[in-house]
Amino acid sequence: MSGLRALVAAELGQPVDPRVVAFAADIAGRYGAAAEAVLFYGSCLRETKLDGLMLDFYLIVNDYRAAYPQGWMAVANQLVPPNVFPASHAGLIAKYAVLSVEDFARLNRRETLNVSVWARFAQPSRLVWQANEAAGERAVDAVAEAAPTLLAAALPLTAQDDGDPLAIWRMAFALTYGAELRAERKTRAGSVVDADPARYLLFTPDVLASARLGRLDSPVAARRRWRLRRLQGKSLTVLRLLKASLTYAGGIDYLAWKISRHSGHAIVIRPWQRRWPILGAITLLPRLVKHGAVR
């Protein structure tokens, strides 16, 4: 994976807006010696005007219990990773997810059924803060597993000789979007690739070579695993939603904002849903599915 790792390291090291770097350092500073690295990812990576946007970070910590003064937060992060929190700094706003070094590495590897982490880090990201060089190297190693995991899962279901490597990436991301409850429109998976096709073409040879190092599933086995991913992924989405109603301040309002932004379907949160956020989230979900706000 040396060629791919070099590509990943170069991409992670690309410069970003200095305000993003300062924001990442602020988030890491809240966790003291537990903080290992902060990665910046998502649609804001392509934006030059960040004001009014919700930035996305992953904070990698060396130990959940060292990261939280409340023991139950550590248990929640370990049982249903990640924990997600809101943050603001110097006029910018963000949400950040917390994973341990071990979980971040595990959730990017191909033995992990759930798509949540490896689908996101098969896309571009930036390493915007690291505790030390060794922590940065561990982050690079983990991210370098993501894209091969994605294509290894998708290759058995693709027409691999169609001459269009971008079509493989588009199908792969479409499969991952179908494996979670998502607010984005159906065209979102393709737009991920179309936003930077040169990047995916550059990565394709090394990612395919790495993906094919291990044994690929047969098409029948692959379809079975994707059915399991959809079942597990949508169930985990609900669990994370319920957990976020406790761990994420104003989580139900953020949920409504995100769904409205991506789907165009207006969501109104009632006062009682704010008072009892878990019950509010449970009652909200069937309406979201009915109106196609999540799929």
Instruction: State pLDDT tens for residues 163-172.
Output: 689 999 999 9
What is the per-residue pLDDT for 181? 65
What is the rounded CA–CA span in Å between residue 123 and residue 127?
13
What is the 3-state composition of the chain as percent helix, strand, coil, each rounded to the nearest 5?
60, 15, 30
pLDDT exceeds 80 at position 200:
yes
What is the per-residue pLDDT for 253? 66
Q: Residue 146: which pLDDT band, with cuts at 50, 70 and 90?
A: very high
What is the per-residue pLDDT for 93? 94
Q: Where are the beta strands (DSSP E) in the chain?
A: 35-41, 54-61, 83-89, 92-100, 125-130
The structural architecture, per CATH, of the domain 2-231 is: 2-Layer Sandwich (3.30)
Average pLDDT over residues 84-100: 94
Helix 219-247 / helix 146-154 crossing angle, nearest 10 deg: 130
CB 97 within 8 A of CB 77: no
What is the rounded CA–CA span in Å between residue 272 and residue 248?
17
Q: Residue 235: which pLDDT band, with cuts at 50, 70 and 90?
A: confident
As a whole-number percent, the residues of the chain with pLDDT over 70 amount to 79
What is the per-residue pLDDT for 198? 97
Q: Residue 260: which pLDDT band, with cuts at 50, 70 and 90?
A: low
What is the per-residue pLDDT for 248? 63
Q: Based on the number of CB atoms within 10 Å of its own CB, is 60 exposed (0-12), middle (13-18) or buried (19 or more)?
A: buried
**Least trusted range by pLDDT, from 33-42, 94-103, 137-146, 174-183:** 174-183
What is the rounded CA–CA span in Å between residue 40 and residue 60?
11
Q: What is the DSSP letter of 226?
A: H
* Three-state DSSP class for residue 88: strand
**Least trusted range by pLDDT, from 101-115, 152-166, 259-273:** 259-273
What is the per-residue pLDDT for 28? 98
Q: Give the chain's end-to-end CA distance (angstroms, integer).
A: 35
More confident residue, 203 or 286: 203
What is the per-residue pLDDT for 261? 58
- List every span in the chain annotated with CATH 3.30.460.10: 2-231
pTM as predicted: 0.85
What is the rounded CA–CA span in Å between residue 145 and residue 143?
5
**Least trusted range by pLDDT, from 40-49, 172-181, 223-232, 264-273:** 264-273
Q: Residue 214: which pLDDT band, with cuts at 50, 70 and 90?
A: confident
Q: Residue 182: which pLDDT band, with cuts at 50, 70 and 90?
A: low
Alpha-carbon dihedral 270, 272, 275, 280, rounded to 10 degrees? -70
What is the per-residue pLDDT for 270? 74
